[in-house]
Amino acid sequence: MKSSKDNPAKRRSIRSFVRRAGRMTESQQRALVELWPRYGVEFSGAALDLEALFGNPADTVLEIGFGNGDSLVELAASLPDMNFLGIEVHEPGIGHCLIGIRKAGIDNLKLIRHDAVEVLETGLRPASLARINLYFPDPWPKKRHHKRRIVAPQFLDLCHAALRPGGTLNIATDWDNYAEHIDETLAADARFACRERRVHGGERPLARGATKFERRGLTRGHRIHDWCFERLA
């Protein structure tokens, strides 16, 4: 079977985000100016040397679309012996996360302001990640928009390349229809095995803290779906 890696047009068709407007507060703007030089990573298209970036050889976790970053900061603070790389494109959320990093007093979290798909394509060395987190991606609930969902075979190609054998892809969504799509897409890929799956009402998050989008989904009466998929050798 021909891989999506052989078709650049297909590879470029997936995006990790949709542009939306957001208002920056003064403190967020100040954080971008003052803290980005310390915690920010400029995307150049070249593969990052993660050991050099963090100054140690610890395992690295990549989080795609961290929102305001509260749960990412909490996770990084709880696991000081691991390194964390967060990707987000929306500047208010990045500014908020930078403020959280400073308040938490942690040095094991760096941020990239770029499309995560492009970072996965060229910005990481093969088998360099221990874990990828994809929490509450845009569900694109309308059927005609399903093709825009990030969880797709070509995205799994990129995750498989970036994860080391035994590394994990952790996903969460609050949309039942997207959960069905994730189940079907991962079940069709023999390179990943589902190690744990939870359906809950917000009380049993899987190896993560609660997120803003999770709380929003719960207020709408949605169930939460959590997975941990292992990248097989």
Q: What is the mean pLDDT of residues 6-13?
A: 46
74: pLDDT strictly greater than 60 = yes
Quote the pLDDT of residue 23: 86
Quote the pLDDT of residue 2: 39
Active site residue 138: yes
Rounded-to-integer distance, Cα 218 and Cα 172, Å: 13
8: pLDDT strictly greater than 60 = no
Between residues 7 and 59, which one has the greater pLDDT?
A: 59
For residue 184, the number of C-alpha atoms closer than 13 Å in the C-beta half-sphere is 7
The pLDDT tens digits of the residues spanning 121-158 come to 999 999 999 999 999 999 999 999 999 999 999 999 99
Kindly name the residue from 49, 81, 138, 183 that is annotated as catalytic: 138
Quote the pLDDT of residue 5: 43
CB 110 within 8 A of CB 43: no
The pLDDT tens digits of the residues spanning 75-99 come to 999 999 999 999 999 999 999 999 9
Rounded-to-integer distance, Cα 173 and Cα 134, Å: 9
- CA distances in angstroms from 120 to 62, 149, 170, 205, listed in the order given: 10, 16, 16, 25
The pLDDT tens digits of the residues spanning 13-51 come to 555 455 555 689 999 999 999 999 999 999 999 999 999
**Residue 148: exposed, middle, or buried by beta-carbon count in 10 A (0-12, 13-18, 19+)?**
middle
